[in-house]
A and B are shown apart, each in its own frame.
Chain A
Amino acid sequence: MGLESEVAQLRRGDLDALSALIARYQNRLYRYLLRLVRETADAEDLFQQTWVRVAERIRQYNPERNFDAWLFSVARNLAIDHLRRVRADSLDEPVSSEVDGETKVARLVSRERPAVEGMLERERSEQLEAAMGELPLSYREVLTLRFEEEMKLEEIAQVLEIPLSTVKTRLRRSLDRMRHTIQARYPN
């Protein structure tokens, strides 16, 4: 069942299509939310809320629009509302509590890691995730959408509701910041 037919069936009222859509997007959506809110419990809750919102609004969704972009923007809006409510001041602050020498973020994310990975590679990934966790929200967003979701710039512009040129600028700045963060934390 292709994506378009799943969406069309859901709009007609078929709940099996909902289950198929959730299965199709579950990892990607969860990853995106986790990058945004940086807390497992919050990401899990927002994951559920996003799908409830999808069930509510699927009939108002315009099928000509890109479904990926729509789904991710629904998730994003919920995440931002959540962040505003829970930690009004720290929308852009890095998660800075250190536990056992590792940062909280690295510990949180590495729990969900699949086992198949070399040690060096794993260390490198953890460093990258930790560094990303220190970036402001707008930078984290654009990095995860570009590199983990592999969205085209136009799609990213739709999700973030900003013009294409801003996406490019933000991408460049986030990469710069990422590089600086890594060099500061791991000067090798």
Chain B
Amino acid sequence: MDGKQRIVKEHDKLRDQLSLAAAGALQPDEEQRVLLHAASCAECAAELGEWRALAGGLRRLPTPQPRGEVVERAMARAAMRFAEETEYRSNRRVMVFLVAFAWILTLASWPVFRIVSGGVLDWLDPRFNQTWVSFAALTCFIWATGGVAATLLARQRQSERRTA
């Protein structure tokens, strides 16, 4: 009884794997076991044959093909997007460089301003010598001018675009 139960259990377990065997989805040793069993069990062999027929039918399904215009349009759209991305990335790199440059100029203008004001303009206003606050104020003023100019120009550009 015990041996027969074991054989039945083994048979059931392997039967579950028949479909996977037909799909080629088993490890080599697992597949070996299944094939070995099928060689001696007529029921499983028949079922394996059915699974194989199904798998074969699925493999042989004809491939639907896209229409030519669909492919052309895909290429056109993708190419356009690609060019956009490339331009976007190079613009970003230029921007990073320019912003870094602007900061360097800002920082460099401090000692220059100090030199100039210390040496040549010292008769103007002694308060502006060597205070970090005044440098910060100068920088803020410069960037604020820039900000205002940017806003005005952007608005002008927008209205130009609208009428164009």
Contact = CB atoms under 8 A, between A and B. Distances in A.
Given A15-B79, A18-B79, A125 B60 contact: yes
B71 to A, nearest CB: 5
Interface stretch (A21-29, A66-74, A77-85, A92-100): A21-29
A13 to B, nearest CB: 6
Interface of B: 16-17, 19-20, 22-23, 25, 50-51, 54-55, 57-67, 70-71, 73-75, 77-79, 81-83, 85-86
A143 interface: yes
Chain B binding surface, main DSSP class:
helix
Contact of B66 (A27, A171, A176): A27
Contacts of A30: 64-66, 70
A153 B60 contact: no
24 contacts: A15-B83, A18-B78, A19-B75, A22-B75, A26-B66, A30-B66, A31-B63, A47-B70, A48-B73, A50-B74, A52-B81, A54-B78, A112-B64, A125-B62, A128-B61, A132-B58, A147-B58, A148-B58, A150-B59, A171-B19, A172-B17, A175-B20, A178-B58, A179-B50
B66 A47 contact: yes
Nearest to A13: B86
A128 B25 contact: no
B73 A125 contact: no
B81 A146 contact: no
Contacts of B73: 48
A37 interface: no
Interface residues of A, number: 49
Chain A binding surface, main DSSP class:
helix
Contacts of B57: 124-125, 128
Interface in A133-174: 143, 146-148, 150, 153, 168, 171-172
B74 A47 contact: yes
Contacts of A87: none
A146 B79 contact: no
A47 B23 CA distance: 28
A110 to B, nearest CB: 9
A179 B52 CA distance: 12
Q: 3 smallest A-B Cβ distances: which pairs?
A: A112-B64, A147-B58, A55-B82
